[in-house]
């Protein structure tokens, strides 16, 4: 009985870390564990930015959908997060123009790591 009480006490006092998995366009399910995420309310287009510094991978939630960008330098991330208009900076420097939005950080033209 004492063992059971001890085990239950450990279970209820241990920190609970729930994995967050999001669906990323052109990628599928991605675990956000290696990413540092920042929710933002100062943009009408972008609501969340997640960055994995080890893989230089960035996920951007825009219009409720996640999109991935590869080989993004930290200074580009910093400029994006500190831009007067995140949407304008994103459109001009990250997303790319045209129908397929193939920009400088498009994962289809950069190597994609094996994270999931």
pLDDT digits (tens, 9 = 90+) for 46-62: 999 999 999 999 999 99
DSSP H or E stretch at residue 7: helix 2-13
Q: Map out the domains of the chain as residue ranges.
A: 18-116
Q: What is the pTM of this model?
A: 0.78
Q: What is the pLDDT of residue 107?
A: 86
pLDDT attached to residue 39? 96
Give the three-class secondary structure for 76: helix
Least Cα distance to 72 among 28, 107, 22, 115 occurs for: 107
Backbone φ, ψ for residue 50 (5° rounding): -120, 140
Average pLDDT over residues 76-103: 86
């Amino acid at each position: 009985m004492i063992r059971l009480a001890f085990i239950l006490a450990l279970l209820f006092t241990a920190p609970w870390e729930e994995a967050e998995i999001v669906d990323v366009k052109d990628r599928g399910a991605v675990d956000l564990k290696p990413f540092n995420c920042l929710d933002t309310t100062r943009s009408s287009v972008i609501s969340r930015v997640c960055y994995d510094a080890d893989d230089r991978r960035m996920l951007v939630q825009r219009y409720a959908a996640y999109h991935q960008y590869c080989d993004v330098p930290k200074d580009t991330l910093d400029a994006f997060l500190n831009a007067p208009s995140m949407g304008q900076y994103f459109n001009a420097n990250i997303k790319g123009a045209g129908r397929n939005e193939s920009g400088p950080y498009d994962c289809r033209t950069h190597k994609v790591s094996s994270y999931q």
